Amino acid sequence: MITDAAVEAYNNRITATLSNLGQLTTAQQDAIKNHGSKAEALLKNHDLVMFIHQFRFETADAIAAIQGHDTDSNARRVALAHYLTGIDAFVASVQRAVYMKNRVVSQQEGPAPAPRSPEKEVYKV
């Protein structure tokens, strides 16, 4: 069941691409950083990572255990492959949120100073 809060959150979502990061308002950049920080915490959660890997292994084992090539077996294989694709898409979206956060943060900090070469340093003795 879709609630009004879910519809409101969907309609107010921030659609940011790498090409329009400079055009975002400060509030939108803060929202991207907040979302990215939460996504980063998910990626650092070892229990979630282990659950995702366990899910992938169990799904791959279920695909390998399907015997035969009749219509029902093929439909089951396709359904399980969609499960794997779905979990991969979830992980990719979490990684994308972290990447977008890092891009916003680096853009706000400005360009990093060029590293100085040790050969050009003048040492006074």
Q: How many domains does the chain have?
A: 1
Query: Could you tell me the pLDDT band of residue 119, with boundaries at 50, 70 and 90?
Result: low
Q: What is the mean pLDDT of residues 15-36?
A: 80
Q: Give the mean pLDDT of 54-77.
A: 94
The verdict on residue 18 lying in a domain is no
CB–CB of 27/95 below 8 Å?
no
In a domain, 68, yes or no: yes
Residue 6: inside a domain, yes or no? no
Q: Is 56 inside any structural domain?
A: yes
Q: Residue 77 domain-assigned? A: yes
Determine, yes or no, domain membership for 5: no
The pTM for the full model equals 0.72
For residue 58, CA distances in Å to 50, 53, 80, 81 come to 12, 9, 10, 12
